[in-house]
Copies of this chain bind each other. A is one copy, B any other.
């Protein structure tokens, strides 16, 4: 069973991602390290003891739809109540609405633990937090007063309604329409698909944020508005009123995250008898809905990245436990009696250490992204712009690299289990099934790669990415000049990987400057992976260099060295694909005809 790796999490937050420094500098207000530790400990306890046991039940039962009502798995409604009563839903929300105004870094660390325990369950608050964020940033005071406190407390959950059958990655073509009522409210008509936790029995109300198009809206993405559409209308005194004209038509039968209801939502069908049209309230300005949605989408992308980290962590724990327990054959050098635990076999050890290294690296990347977000909120002027760009640059890598790691590590975890890994009761297969959605939703990893190459590399004319690579070079240099022989060839390997990243970055910036966009896009995914691997290596090195005497320093150096000497050579191949892969792809398109 999952046990939260509180020590690894705290170390990475503090000494790799930058929390300790931010706390010491006083930039995060009166947040002290004691409070950080207490929060992580308690989140870990809740995730391990209360949430994880229900994760498996949720997978087996799944969410069930009957007559438009969704029943969550046994025990989940009560689990959700316990969880929100613990105050976990409002960690980063404003104090004015009952939140704790804590840094994103802490919330992201907590999200990791919820997702390790049950990704399907953790999706509910993940969506609510996104909705809160959009409302805080763009909602009118009236909307905030009416909805925020109960969303922050978790009494009401939130959803994001973007996708339609023909509009997924390309939201410009969505058809859901909104009509003005003349009294400041709107009526919404249309169908939305893939709505996570769109209907369920764990909260009193559900607050849908819905993208729709006004009758006179311009075509494309500039004609999309964002609306708040509650499941139950809320009276002026805050009590719950009539059912709004929105319902769940069906839920999907999915590969994984079975406990999370993925709903097709119908707006404005007149199902409940009243006048047709789901009543909605505008968030932000008309036709500016996509910008409002992007506010929450960036953080949602990081939250999905955390799902990758979380599954990788849980899968690694499970595989290590099994490999210690299962005996089979005799490993070279095994001197014990009988068969050796399979962890002694070099091939299994290599697999497990690989899982460890990728998990720990993906964690550091995601936490560093959260740190950049926090810093952008706690600084001003050029500093704020710098950190905001850093967060923007890290977001697609955090989302894509960490979710790919989630899938890869979950699959390796199955392999370590041998035949037992294929049996559902073992639980290893569930991790792969759950993990597989994360590279897809909140923008497929291909979309993230396009975003990285087209929008993020050119930030500040390329100075943001170049400056970042410079910082990473400093880490490599510190390893190279350290006197610790246990680093082996780490310094040289990091430098070679950074050189590959720099070459690929320059090539992509030039290709775009010269209008060779298709060529640049052909290499976007290999580039994204290249960047992720380099960060993985550099962040492990940063942790290994940190002068923290907690008894794990040698292990950190050893893991970093394994990463550098076993996993970083791939960066050269990826660079090669970026700078020379496009012509052969163009020629090979013919084979798809």
Contacts and interface: CB of A to CB of B under 8 A. Distances in A.
Interface of A: 163, 166, 168-170, 173, 193-194, 252-256, 320, 323, 327-329, 331-333, 339, 343, 345-353, 356-357, 407, 411, 414-415, 418-419, 421-425, 429, 432-433, 436-437, 439-441, 444-446, 449-450, 486, 488-489, 517-519, 521-522, 524-525, 554-555, 558-559, 561-562, 564-566, 569-570, 572-573, 576-577, 580-585, 587-592
Nearest to A425: B253
Given A347-B449, A419-B194, A440-B419, A590 B558 contact: yes
Interface of A is mostly: helix
B411 A440 contact: no
A343 B587 contact: no
A439 B329 CA distance: 19
A566 B445 CA distance: 19
A256 B450 CA distance: 33
A564 B576 contact: no
A561 B573 contact: no
Nearest to A489: B580
A488 B584 contact: yes
Contacts of A565: 580-581, 583-584
A349 B587 contact: no
A347 B577 contact: no
B339 A524 contact: no
A388 B338 CA distance: 34
**Considering residues A254, A436, A583, A588, which has the most beta carbons from chain B within 10 angstroms of its beta carbon?**
A588
B584 A522 contact: no
Contacts of A346: 518-519, 521-522, 524, 582, 585
Tallying the copies of this chain within the complex gives 2
A581 B567 CA distance: 9
Q: Which 5 A-B pairs have the closest CB atoms?
A: A569-B573, A562-B588, A332-B518, A255-B429, A347-B446
Nearest to A446: B347
B432 A436 contact: yes
A555 B590 contact: yes
A175 to B, nearest CB: 13
B584 A566 contact: yes
Contacts of A351: 446, 525
Nearest to A356: B591
13 contacts: A254-B422, A255-B433, A346-B585, A347-B449, A347-B521, A353-B591, A407-B411, A419-B440, A558-B587, A559-B591, A561-B584, A562-B587, A566-B585
A348 B449 CA distance: 12
Given A350-B525, A488-B583, 20 more contacts: A166-B327, A170-B328, A170-B329, A254-B422, A254-B429, A255-B429, A256-B422, A323-B592, A346-B522, A351-B446, A353-B585, A356-B592, A357-B588, A419-B440, A419-B441, A422-B436, A432-B436, A558-B588, A562-B585, A566-B585
Given A425-B253, A450-B347, A573-B570, A339 B173 contact: yes
A569 B572 contact: yes
Contacts of A253: 423-425
B592 A349 contact: yes
Contacts of A572: 569, 572-573
Contacts of A414: 255, 436, 440
A34 B522 CA distance: 43
Contacts of A328: 168-170
A418 B168 contact: yes
A588 B587 CA distance: 43
Contact of A517 (B327, B332, B449, B555): B332
Contacts of A569: 572-573, 576-577
A171 to B, nearest CB: 10
Contact of A562 (B166, B347, B584): B584
Contacts of A339: 170, 173
B424 A254 contact: yes
A440 B422 contact: yes
A570 B254 CA distance: 34
**Considering residues A323, A332, A425, which has the most beta carbons from chain B within 10 angstroms of its beta carbon?**
A332
A120 to B, nearest CB: 13
A357 B592 CA distance: 11
